[in-house]
Amino acid sequence: MELGELLWYSNNKEKFDIRKIIRILFLISPIILLGFAIYENNLWHPPLNPNVPQYISINDLRSHPEAYPPPMKVIMQGLVINKNKTSNFLILEGGTMGPFRVNCSNLDISFINTGVIIYLLGVSYFNDPSKNYFLAENFEIQQPTYTTYLSIPGALLILIILFVGFKFSLKDFSFSRKTKEGVQDA
Amino acid sequence: MPDWLTHMGIAYVVIWGISKIPELNSKLRAYFWLFIIGMVAPDIERFFTVVAQVIDNAYFTALTFTFITVTHSILGVAIISLFITSFFPHEQQRDTKFIYLTLFIGGLGHLMIDLIMWPWPGMGLNLFYPLAGSEFSYSFHLVWPWNFTPLFITSIILLGTVLIDAISRNFSVFRWQF
């Protein structure tokens, strides 16, 4: 280490350490997001505004049917495991709480096959023991999505941008500009 | 949600437009590529999606969906931009701020594009998470996530920019002139 560099470090030791600490804090910041995700994953809260359709999971609806009384609109996603053509009922996978019955009497479900994932918009009657079903008003079959596969060339382009457009240092796992020309412009 | 190519394509069109304005081009050129990175940054969760598909664990898959909700919010964009900024520790203090700002604006652009998804009222992005729930979901309610229309439109616009550059013999984003 040169004397000048050593002097710089000794004069700016505090500043240097703070930068390192801040960098570590920035690096671990996604833990906050992960914490929120874990918290949210185990959380259920009652709807605040019954006029807005509630997008919830099948489990939440089955666990708290009283919170979603008719005519509140509910949206959910589920896997079709059975179909009754005569009664126009769909049976969705309901997890530990048993099959999830969907009344599709107002809909044409002839082209819904078992094994597909559908989005349902309708009204829940699970708080009414005489009915105990979900009355569907609209549905949308989830199509195969290729976004993950189409994102692979995108991810490769990002890596090219990072490793060609910037200088990578393995020493501290950092990127820096190859030229300061543009920075001075800014 | 639209794939990374769509987001990158739209980011390219934006920086292409900026590159055609000399005053803005000279000031912002240093941040063009960072803007593209920022534009895909909220989809960093896609790595978790791939892992979830590989290990095929129900809890992890559910967690991934929640993680998507969290990352696709203004708070999520702010934190992911901090995370990416941490990989640029050798820039000047003022420049670090601009790097963060560019990534953040790119991230907000990402959210704007994702707002076209989910056609039903009650579905959308929780932009103001941790204010969670259908009441705080926002969307323009145009297409389902598996719809190819955004990619198709972006490709056409992108092709248009390439054609204009080819006719004018000036690829301004790359500074290629022939």
The answer to whether residue A48 is domain-embedded is no
Continuous H helices in B2-148: 4-19, 22-28, 32-40, 46-55, 58-71, 74-85, 93-114
- Domain match, A5 and A29 both: yes
Other Cβ atoms within 10 Å of B48 Cβ, number: 19
The answer to whether residue A180 is domain-embedded is yes
Higher pLDDT, A12 or B171: B171
Q: Give the pLDDT of residue B177.
A: 60
Which of A20, A24, A25, A26 to mutate to probe the B interface, most B CBs <10 Å?
A: A26
B-chain residues within 8 Å CB-CB of A137?
Answer: none
CB B143 within 8 A of CB B112: no
Q: Residue A182's pLDDT band (boundaries 50, 70, 90)? A: very low
Rounded to two decimals, the pTM is 0.87
- pLDDT tens for residues B100-114? 999 999 999 999 999
- pLDDT tens for residues A71-86? 999 999 999 999 888 8
- The CATH number covering residue A68 comes to 2.40.50.140
The answer to whether residue A112 is domain-embedded is yes
**Structural domain boundaries, residue A70:** 54-141
A29–B83: do the CB atoms touch at under 8 Å? yes
User: Which A residues in the span 47-106 are in contact with B, Cβ-Cβ below 8 Å?
Assistant: 47-49, 52-56, 73, 75
Q: How many domains does chain A have?
A: 3
Partner B contacted by A128 (CB < 8 A): no
- pLDDT tens for residues A104-160? 998 988 889 899 999 999 999 998 888 889 999 999 999 877 777 777 888 899 999
Handedness of CA B128, B134, B140, B142 (dihedral sign): positive
The complex's ipTM works out to: 0.85
- Domain match, A38 and A107 both: no
- pLDDT tens for residues B72-131? 999 999 999 999 999 998 888 788 999 999 999 999 999 999 999 999 999 999 999 988
- Domain match, A34 and A74 both: no
Helix (H, G, I), strand (E, B) or coil at A21: helix
Nearest to A124 by CA among A101, A153, A92, A107: A101
A-chain residues within 8 Å CB-CB of B175?
Answer: none
Please name the member of B36, B76, B123 whose beta carbon is closest to the beta carbon of A33.
B76
Q: Which residue of B has its CA nearest to A178?
A: B30
The helix or strand, by DSSP H or E, that contains position A112, with its residue range, turns out to be: none
CB A118 within 8 A of CB A140: yes
- pLDDT tens for residues A38-56? 998 888 889 988 899 999 9
Residue B9 CA to residue A127 CA, distance in Å, equals: 48
